[in-house]
Amino acid sequence: MTRVAVNGVTGQMGHAVLAAAGDADVVVGFATSDADAVDGVPVVHPADAADALAEYDVDAVVDFAVPEGALTVAEACAEAGVPIVVGTTGFDEDGMARLKDVSESVPLLKATNFSRGIQVLQRLVREAVGTLDEYDLELVETHHNRKVDAPSGTANTILDVIQSERDVEPVYGREGHAPRDEDEIGVFARRAGDVRGEHELLLAGDDEVLSLSHRAEDRGVFAAGALDAAAWLVGRDAGWYSFGEVVDA
Ligand SMILES: NC(=O)C1=CN([C@@H]2O[C@H](COP(=O)(O)OP(=O)(O)OC[C@H]3O[C@@H](n4cnc5c(N)ncnc54)[C@H](OP(=O)(O)O)[C@@H]3O)[C@@H](O)[C@H]2O)C=CC1
Ligand SMILES: O=C(O)C1=N[C@H](C(=O)O)C[C@H](O)C1
Protein backbone atom coordinates (compact mmCIF):
# COMPACT_ATOMS: atom_id res chain seq x y z
CA MET A 1 0.00 0.00 0.00
CA THR A 2 1.32 3.47 -0.92
CA ARG A 3 0.71 6.08 1.79
CA VAL A 4 -0.47 9.09 -0.20
CA ALA A 5 -0.94 12.77 0.67
CA VAL A 6 -3.28 14.74 -1.60
CA ASN A 7 -2.60 18.40 -2.30
CA GLY A 8 -5.81 20.27 -3.16
CA VAL A 9 -7.80 17.66 -1.24
CA THR A 10 -10.89 19.92 -0.92
CA GLY A 11 -11.15 20.42 -4.70
CA GLN A 12 -12.88 18.53 -7.51
CA MET A 13 -9.81 16.43 -8.23
CA GLY A 14 -9.03 16.03 -4.53
CA HIS A 15 -12.43 14.39 -4.08
CA ALA A 16 -11.88 12.24 -7.18
CA VAL A 17 -8.55 10.99 -5.80
CA LEU A 18 -10.17 10.12 -2.46
CA ALA A 19 -12.89 8.22 -4.31
CA ALA A 20 -10.39 6.35 -6.48
CA ALA A 21 -8.01 5.44 -3.66
CA GLY A 22 -8.37 2.42 -1.42
CA ASP A 23 -9.73 2.98 2.09
CA ALA A 24 -6.45 3.57 3.91
CA ASP A 25 -4.30 4.85 1.05
CA VAL A 26 -4.77 8.59 1.57
CA VAL A 27 -3.35 9.50 4.97
CA VAL A 28 -3.41 13.32 4.85
CA GLY A 29 -4.53 16.18 2.61
CA PHE A 30 -3.40 19.76 2.07
CA ALA A 31 -5.62 22.81 1.47
CA THR A 32 -5.73 26.42 2.58
CA SER A 33 -9.36 26.51 3.72
CA ASP A 34 -10.48 25.79 7.29
CA ALA A 35 -11.66 22.20 6.74
CA ASP A 36 -10.32 19.87 9.48
CA ALA A 37 -10.98 16.75 7.46
CA VAL A 38 -12.40 15.56 4.12
CA ASP A 39 -14.01 12.11 4.08
CA GLY A 40 -12.17 11.33 7.34
CA VAL A 41 -8.78 12.40 5.93
CA PRO A 42 -7.09 15.09 8.08
CA VAL A 43 -6.46 18.40 6.28
CA VAL A 44 -3.26 20.36 6.96
CA HIS A 45 -2.27 23.82 5.68
CA PRO A 46 0.33 23.63 2.85
CA ALA A 47 2.68 25.82 4.91
CA ASP A 48 2.98 22.90 7.37
CA ALA A 49 3.38 20.25 4.68
CA ALA A 50 7.02 19.28 5.40
CA ASP A 51 6.23 18.39 9.03
CA ALA A 52 3.01 16.60 8.03
CA LEU A 53 4.81 14.45 5.43
CA ALA A 54 7.07 13.12 8.21
CA GLU A 55 4.29 12.88 10.84
CA TYR A 56 1.99 10.85 8.56
CA ASP A 57 4.87 8.80 7.11
CA VAL A 58 3.85 9.72 3.54
CA ASP A 59 5.33 7.68 0.64
CA ALA A 60 4.21 10.06 -2.16
CA VAL A 61 2.20 13.22 -2.76
CA VAL A 62 -0.47 13.52 -5.45
CA ASP A 63 -1.08 17.16 -6.35
CA PHE A 64 -4.11 18.75 -8.03
CA ALA A 65 -4.29 22.31 -6.73
CA VAL A 66 -3.19 25.74 -7.98
CA PRO A 67 0.36 26.56 -9.17
CA GLU A 68 1.46 28.47 -6.03
CA GLY A 69 0.07 25.75 -3.75
CA ALA A 70 1.68 23.02 -5.84
CA LEU A 71 5.05 24.78 -5.57
CA THR A 72 4.77 25.17 -1.78
CA VAL A 73 4.06 21.46 -1.37
CA ALA A 74 6.63 20.37 -3.99
CA GLU A 75 9.32 22.32 -2.11
CA ALA A 76 8.15 20.69 1.14
CA CYS A 77 8.58 17.31 -0.60
CA ALA A 78 12.15 18.26 -1.50
CA GLU A 79 12.78 19.16 2.16
CA ALA A 80 11.18 15.95 3.47
CA GLY A 81 12.56 13.62 0.76
CA VAL A 82 9.13 12.57 -0.53
CA PRO A 83 8.30 11.92 -4.25
CA ILE A 84 5.59 14.03 -5.83
CA VAL A 85 3.15 13.57 -8.73
CA VAL A 86 2.21 17.01 -10.09
CA GLY A 87 -1.17 17.28 -11.85
CA THR A 88 -1.74 21.01 -11.39
CA THR A 89 -1.65 22.98 -14.66
CA GLY A 90 -0.97 26.62 -15.51
CA PHE A 91 2.62 27.05 -14.26
CA ASP A 92 4.59 30.01 -15.61
CA GLU A 93 8.30 29.79 -16.51
CA ASP A 94 9.42 30.55 -12.98
CA GLY A 95 7.11 27.86 -11.60
CA MET A 96 8.47 25.30 -14.05
CA ALA A 97 12.03 26.23 -13.03
CA ARG A 98 11.13 25.73 -9.35
CA LEU A 99 9.68 22.29 -10.15
CA LYS A 100 12.92 21.41 -12.00
CA ASP A 101 14.84 22.38 -8.85
CA VAL A 102 12.63 20.08 -6.76
CA SER A 103 13.35 17.22 -9.16
CA GLU A 104 17.08 17.57 -8.35
CA SER A 105 16.26 16.36 -4.81
CA VAL A 106 13.33 13.95 -5.16
CA PRO A 107 11.50 12.00 -7.91
CA LEU A 108 8.93 14.31 -9.56
CA LEU A 109 6.44 13.15 -12.17
CA LYS A 110 4.49 15.87 -13.94
CA ALA A 111 1.68 15.40 -16.43
CA THR A 112 -0.93 17.82 -17.69
CA ASN A 113 -3.27 14.86 -18.18
CA PHE A 114 -3.31 11.51 -16.34
CA SER A 115 -5.65 9.68 -18.70
CA ARG A 116 -4.10 6.86 -20.69
CA GLY A 117 -6.14 7.85 -23.74
CA ILE A 118 -4.47 11.25 -23.89
CA GLN A 119 -1.05 9.59 -23.83
CA VAL A 120 -2.03 7.63 -26.93
CA LEU A 121 -3.58 10.73 -28.50
CA GLN A 122 -0.25 12.55 -28.14
CA ARG A 123 1.50 9.72 -29.99
CA LEU A 124 -1.13 9.77 -32.75
CA VAL A 125 -0.78 13.54 -33.03
CA ARG A 126 2.99 13.23 -33.56
CA GLU A 127 2.44 10.63 -36.31
CA ALA A 128 -0.38 12.54 -38.03
CA VAL A 129 1.29 15.95 -37.98
CA GLY A 130 4.59 14.50 -39.19
CA THR A 131 2.91 12.61 -42.04
CA LEU A 132 0.26 15.15 -43.14
CA ASP A 133 2.80 17.92 -43.09
CA GLU A 134 0.91 20.26 -45.44
CA TYR A 135 -2.46 20.04 -43.69
CA ASP A 136 -3.96 22.94 -41.72
CA LEU A 137 -4.09 22.36 -37.97
CA GLU A 138 -6.70 23.64 -35.50
CA LEU A 139 -6.83 22.71 -31.81
CA VAL A 140 -9.97 22.97 -29.64
CA GLU A 141 -10.44 22.15 -25.97
CA THR A 142 -13.60 22.26 -23.83
CA HIS A 143 -13.78 22.24 -20.02
CA HIS A 144 -16.17 22.94 -17.16
CA ASN A 145 -17.07 26.51 -16.28
CA ARG A 146 -14.87 26.59 -13.15
CA LYS A 147 -11.58 26.02 -14.94
CA VAL A 148 -9.23 28.99 -14.46
CA ASP A 149 -6.32 28.36 -16.85
CA ALA A 150 -6.61 28.58 -20.63
CA PRO A 151 -5.74 26.95 -22.88
CA SER A 152 -5.75 23.75 -20.84
CA GLY A 153 -2.46 22.19 -19.80
CA THR A 154 -3.26 19.29 -22.11
CA ALA A 155 -3.81 21.60 -25.10
CA ASN A 156 -0.43 23.23 -24.37
CA THR A 157 1.20 19.79 -24.23
CA ILE A 158 -0.41 18.80 -27.55
CA LEU A 159 0.86 22.09 -28.98
CA ASP A 160 4.39 21.24 -27.77
CA VAL A 161 4.14 17.87 -29.53
CA ILE A 162 2.99 19.58 -32.75
CA GLN A 163 5.73 22.21 -32.56
CA SER A 164 8.36 19.49 -32.13
CA GLU A 165 7.23 18.24 -35.59
CA ARG A 166 6.29 21.45 -37.39
CA ASP A 167 7.09 25.13 -37.21
CA VAL A 168 3.59 26.49 -36.48
CA GLU A 169 2.62 29.69 -34.71
CA PRO A 170 -0.39 29.51 -32.34
CA VAL A 171 -3.22 32.02 -32.86
CA TYR A 172 -5.47 32.10 -29.79
CA GLY A 173 -9.01 32.64 -31.06
CA ARG A 174 -9.79 34.75 -34.10
CA GLU A 175 -11.71 37.96 -34.41
CA GLY A 176 -12.41 40.55 -37.08
CA HIS A 177 -10.43 40.45 -40.32
CA ALA A 178 -8.26 37.41 -39.61
CA PRO A 179 -7.17 35.55 -42.75
CA ARG A 180 -5.44 32.28 -41.98
CA ASP A 181 -1.69 32.14 -42.35
CA GLU A 182 -0.24 28.94 -43.79
CA ASP A 183 1.95 28.34 -40.72
CA GLU A 184 -0.53 29.09 -38.00
CA ILE A 185 -2.53 26.83 -35.70
CA GLY A 186 -5.77 28.15 -34.25
CA VAL A 187 -6.15 27.33 -30.55
CA PHE A 188 -9.59 27.63 -28.93
CA ALA A 189 -10.70 27.21 -25.29
CA ARG A 190 -14.40 26.67 -24.53
CA ARG A 191 -15.80 26.75 -20.95
CA ALA A 192 -19.26 25.34 -20.26
CA GLY A 193 -21.19 23.27 -17.72
CA ASP A 194 -19.33 20.38 -16.11
CA VAL A 195 -17.46 19.09 -19.18
CA ARG A 196 -14.65 16.97 -17.70
CA GLY A 197 -12.21 17.60 -20.54
CA GLU A 198 -12.37 17.37 -24.34
CA HIS A 199 -9.52 17.89 -26.79
CA GLU A 200 -9.67 17.78 -30.58
CA LEU A 201 -6.99 18.32 -33.21
CA LEU A 202 -8.28 18.91 -36.73
CA LEU A 203 -5.97 18.24 -39.68
CA ALA A 204 -7.49 19.49 -42.91
CA GLY A 205 -6.30 19.14 -46.49
CA ASP A 206 -8.30 20.41 -49.47
CA ASP A 207 -10.30 17.20 -49.90
CA GLU A 208 -10.26 15.49 -46.52
CA VAL A 209 -10.33 16.17 -42.79
CA LEU A 210 -8.81 14.05 -40.06
CA SER A 211 -10.03 14.63 -36.53
CA LEU A 212 -8.16 13.24 -33.52
CA SER A 213 -10.13 13.68 -30.34
CA HIS A 214 -10.41 12.52 -26.74
CA ARG A 215 -13.15 12.98 -24.17
CA ALA A 216 -12.76 12.30 -20.45
CA GLU A 217 -16.11 11.19 -19.04
CA ASP A 218 -15.22 11.13 -15.34
CA ARG A 219 -12.51 12.75 -13.19
CA GLY A 220 -11.85 9.25 -11.87
CA VAL A 221 -9.75 8.57 -14.98
CA PHE A 222 -7.28 11.32 -14.00
CA ALA A 223 -7.32 10.25 -10.34
CA ALA A 224 -6.59 6.60 -11.16
CA GLY A 225 -3.72 7.57 -13.46
CA ALA A 226 -2.18 9.86 -10.85
CA LEU A 227 -2.41 7.16 -8.15
CA ASP A 228 -0.77 4.66 -10.52
CA ALA A 229 1.97 7.23 -11.13
CA ALA A 230 2.46 7.68 -7.35
CA ALA A 231 2.88 3.94 -6.78
CA TRP A 232 5.30 3.75 -9.75
CA LEU A 233 7.37 6.73 -8.49
CA VAL A 234 8.09 5.46 -4.97
CA GLY A 235 11.65 4.16 -4.61
CA ARG A 236 13.00 5.82 -7.78
CA ASP A 237 16.01 8.14 -7.98
CA ALA A 238 15.55 11.89 -7.86
CA GLY A 239 14.69 13.22 -11.32
CA TRP A 240 11.96 14.35 -13.72
CA TYR A 241 9.57 11.62 -14.90
CA SER A 242 6.64 11.53 -17.34
CA PHE A 243 3.31 9.69 -17.30
CA GLY A 244 4.27 8.03 -20.59
CA GLU A 245 6.84 6.01 -18.64
CA VAL A 246 4.07 4.73 -16.33
CA VAL A 247 1.81 3.85 -19.27
CA ASP A 248 4.65 1.96 -20.99
CA ALA A 249 5.76 0.11 -17.82
N1 LIG B 1 -3.17 16.48 -14.82
C2 LIG B 1 -4.43 16.08 -14.88
O3 LIG B 1 -4.75 14.95 -15.30
C4 LIG B 1 -5.50 16.99 -14.37
C5 LIG B 1 -5.16 18.22 -13.91
N6 LIG B 1 -6.11 19.04 -13.36
C7 LIG B 1 -5.61 20.27 -12.78
O8 LIG B 1 -5.67 20.14 -11.37
C9 LIG B 1 -5.87 21.43 -10.79
C10 LIG B 1 -7.03 21.37 -9.80
O11 LIG B 1 -8.22 21.12 -10.50
P12 LIG B 1 -9.64 21.04 -9.75
O13 LIG B 1 -9.57 20.00 -8.68
O14 LIG B 1 -10.66 20.92 -10.80
O15 LIG B 1 -9.69 22.50 -9.09
P16 LIG B 1 -10.48 22.98 -7.78
O17 LIG B 1 -10.56 24.47 -7.88
O18 LIG B 1 -11.70 22.20 -7.59
O19 LIG B 1 -9.48 22.59 -6.60
C20 LIG B 1 -8.31 23.30 -6.33
C21 LIG B 1 -7.82 22.89 -4.96
O22 LIG B 1 -6.62 23.60 -4.64
C23 LIG B 1 -6.72 24.05 -3.30
N24 LIG B 1 -5.84 25.19 -3.09
C25 LIG B 1 -6.05 26.52 -3.33
N26 LIG B 1 -4.96 27.23 -2.97
C27 LIG B 1 -4.06 26.32 -2.51
C28 LIG B 1 -2.75 26.43 -2.00
N29 LIG B 1 -2.12 27.62 -1.90
N30 LIG B 1 -2.11 25.30 -1.60
C31 LIG B 1 -2.72 24.09 -1.72
N32 LIG B 1 -3.98 23.92 -2.18
C33 LIG B 1 -4.62 25.04 -2.58
C34 LIG B 1 -8.19 24.36 -3.11
O35 LIG B 1 -8.59 24.27 -1.77
P36 LIG B 1 -8.64 25.47 -0.73
O37 LIG B 1 -9.29 26.63 -1.39
O38 LIG B 1 -9.39 24.82 0.36
O39 LIG B 1 -7.20 25.72 -0.39
C40 LIG B 1 -8.80 23.18 -3.84
O41 LIG B 1 -8.80 22.05 -2.99
C42 LIG B 1 -6.03 22.40 -11.96
O43 LIG B 1 -4.78 23.01 -12.23
C44 LIG B 1 -6.44 21.49 -13.11
O45 LIG B 1 -6.12 22.01 -14.37
C46 LIG B 1 -7.40 18.67 -13.28
C47 LIG B 1 -7.80 17.46 -13.76
C48 LIG B 1 -6.88 16.52 -14.34
O1 LIG C 1 -9.10 21.49 -15.06
C2 LIG C 1 -9.48 20.38 -15.49
O3 LIG C 1 -10.59 19.91 -15.22
C4 LIG C 1 -8.55 19.60 -16.32
N5 LIG C 1 -7.35 20.05 -16.46
C6 LIG C 1 -6.28 19.44 -17.15
C7 LIG C 1 -5.77 20.36 -18.24
O8 LIG C 1 -5.66 21.58 -17.99
O9 LIG C 1 -5.44 19.89 -19.31
C10 LIG C 1 -6.59 18.05 -17.61
C11 LIG C 1 -8.02 17.75 -17.92
O12 LIG C 1 -8.31 18.12 -19.21
C13 LIG C 1 -8.99 18.33 -16.91
DSSP 33-54: SS-SEETTEEEE-GGGHHHHHH
Answer for the pair 10, 33: CB distance below 8 angstroms, yes or no: yes
Share of the chain above pLDDT 70, in %: 99
Mean pLDDT confidence for 45-63: 97
- Whether ligand 2 lies within 6 angstroms of the CB of 112 is answered as yes
Position 148 pLDDT exceeds 80: yes
Position 129 pLDDT exceeds 90: yes
CA distance 109 to 130: 27
- As a whole number, the mean pLDDT across the chain is 97
pLDDT category of residue 1 using cuts at 50, 70 and 90: confident
The predicted structure's pLDDT at residue 24: 60
pLDDT category of residue 14 using cuts at 50, 70 and 90: very high
Ligand 1 atom closest to the Cα of residue 89 is 43
The predicted structure's pLDDT at residue 22: 80
Answer for the pair 119, 187: CB distance below 8 angstroms, yes or no: no
CA distance 163 to 178: 22
Mean pLDDT confidence for 77-89: 98
> Of the given ranges (24-38, 98-112, 119-133), which has the lowest mean pLDDT?
24-38
Ligand 1 atom closest to the Cα of residue 65 is 22
Answer for the pair 113, 161: CB distance below 8 angstroms, yes or no: no
Cis peptide before 151 (omega within 30 of 0): yes
Answer for the pair 70, 86: CB distance below 8 angstroms, yes or no: yes
CA distance 53 to 123: 36
- Whether ligand 2 lies within 6 angstroms of the CB of 199 is answered as no
pTM of model > 0.90: yes
Residue whose CA is closest, atom 2 of ligand 1?
A: 113
Which residues, in sequence order, are CB contacts of 45 under 8 Å at separation 6+?
A: 30, 31, 32
pLDDT category of residue 162 using cuts at 50, 70 and 90: very high
Residue 172 or residue 35, greater confidence: 172
> 88-112 pLDDT, tens per residue?
999 999 999 999 999 999 999 999 9
Position 174 pLDDT exceeds 70: yes
From 6, 10, 63, mutation site for ligand 1 pocket: most ligand atoms within 8 A of C-beta? 10
Which residues, in sequence order, are CB contacts of 128 under 8 Å at separation 6+?
A: 201, 203, 210, 212
From the CA of 222, the nearest ligand is 1
Mean pLDDT confidence for 189-213: 98
Paired residues of 44 in beta bridges: 30
From 112, 195, 201, mutation site for ligand 2 pocket: most ligand atoms within 8 A of C-beta? 112
The predicted structure's pLDDT at residue 23: 66
